Amino acid sequence: MVLLFVLLIILMLVTVYLVLKRKHMHNWIGPYLWQCLKPKAKVEGPIHIMFCFVDHFEPQWKNKDDIELERARVDRWYNDYPKMAEKHRDADGHYPKHVFFYPEEEYRHEHLAKLSDLCARGFGEIEIHLHHDNDTAENLSKTLTGFAKTLHEQHGALPVNPATGQIQYAFIHGNWSLDNSLPGGMHCGVNNELKVLKNSGCYIDMTLPCAPSPAQTSKINSIYYATGRDGKCKSHNSGTDVEVGKTANGDLMLLQGPIGLNFKWRTPSGMPHIENSDVRRTAPPLKSRIDQWVSSNIHVKGRPEWVFIKVHTHGAQEGDMDTLLGEPRDFLHSYLETKYNDGEKYVLHYVSAREMYNITKAAEAGMSGNPSIYRDFILAKPSFKLNS
């Protein structure tokens, strides 16, 4: 009887493991459960929330030969985003800031001219996105530095490091395959990609989370430094937390969005949804999701009163535009401004990727108080060009 019970337990554990592995949850579910059990640090005074919306913005999505379709997609954002965003402000008077991570391989001057115009009017910033495959470190470096130069010189995008004069950028890896992290090296090909990114001017990576992709890391809900390893891949699977009073320790800073399980948001089969920070028609910004983003408590170690929320989308896909430019996105900001901007318990700050990075570096340097004053702590705001 005892043997039968043991066999049943083993069978149950094996079944659970296989289910988790099918969705690649075995990469991160253990660290997530551990985080849930850890007590949160006590905070005196208001919690400052830095909210950043990043976009894998791909005008050529599934259609690389239709310029009119590309224009329609960009124009929808150019015309409709300000109408929605102008209704909202954070504690500092800023509009919601949408960060367009634009793919190098889809560059068109006319599209970036319109996005730069939006950014010049305070609606966001532009950063670098890249899809590549079977690449080399040398070619990758040339691609990234060349695109950064184009964005900076042609559109006024991207900041310049005041100490080195190098053009700098935030990065999102196409297909989630940062540092050659997909099986078989798909959609990358470059081991120790982290070092290439750092040397070419990348100041922060915002690819993660990417569940249920196998590229998802075990390190979750974190702001940390990862160090590349020559000849090795997925070095960012672990790293050193950014911490108040500590020196930067690694090749590249990574700032992750929230990941976890949402038991209030159920699948059609009744299972809890995986929270992976993705916002789209099939994953709308529900109250329970927004609350979970806040409670994920992503912060610089030693500065728990500054909470960082990074969510992502693919904004050029027609099926999701009504969610991202219409009532659901409007609700997202209204809910944030109502519940998380009372000035006593919470203070809301809409930030770009660059501003998020600056504020993390300010925390690392020991700064405290109102994080909004550190939006340009190291990297100044680019001088985006108005569309003419």
Q: Is 175 helix (H, G, I), strand (E, B) or coil?
A: helix
Q: Is 144 helix (H, G, I), strand (E, B) or coil?
A: helix
What would the 3-class secondary structure string for 316-353 be?
A: CCHHHHHHHHCHHHHHHHHHHHHHCCCCCCEEEEECCH
Phi, psi of 88, deg, nearest 5: -130, 150
Phi, psi of 384, deg, nearest 5: -55, 150
- For residues 41 and 379, which has the higher predicted lDDT (pLDDT)? 379
Residue 85 has pLDDT above 80, yes or no: yes
* All structural domains of the chain with their residue ranges: 40-374
DSSP 66: -
Residue 13 has pLDDT above 60, yes or no: no
Q: Which uninterrupted H or E stretch holds 102?
A: strand 98-103
- Indicate the angle between helix axes 287-295 and 327-339, nearest 10 degrees: 50
What number of residues does the chain have?
A: 388
Q: How confident is the model at residue 11 (pLDDT cuts 50, 70, 90)?
A: very low
- Per DSSP, helices labelled H in the chain are 2-22, 29-37, 67-85, 109-120, 137-155, 193-199, 287-295, 318-325, 327-339, 353-364
Question: Which architecture characterizes domain 40-374 according to CATH?
Answer: Alpha-Beta Barrel (3.20)
DSSP 215: T
Tens of pLDDT, residue by residue over 253-291, are 999 999 999 999 999 999 999 999 999 999 999 999 999
Q: What is the C-alpha to C-alpha distance for residues 67 and 126, in angstroms, rounded to an integer? A: 21
Q: What is the C-alpha to C-alpha distance for residues 268 and 333, in angstroms, rounded to an integer? A: 27
Tens of pLDDT, residue by residue over 173-184, are 999 999 999 999
Residue 202 has pLDDT above 80, yes or no: yes
Residue 6 has pLDDT above 70, yes or no: no
Cis link prior to 162 (omega < 30° from 0)?
A: no
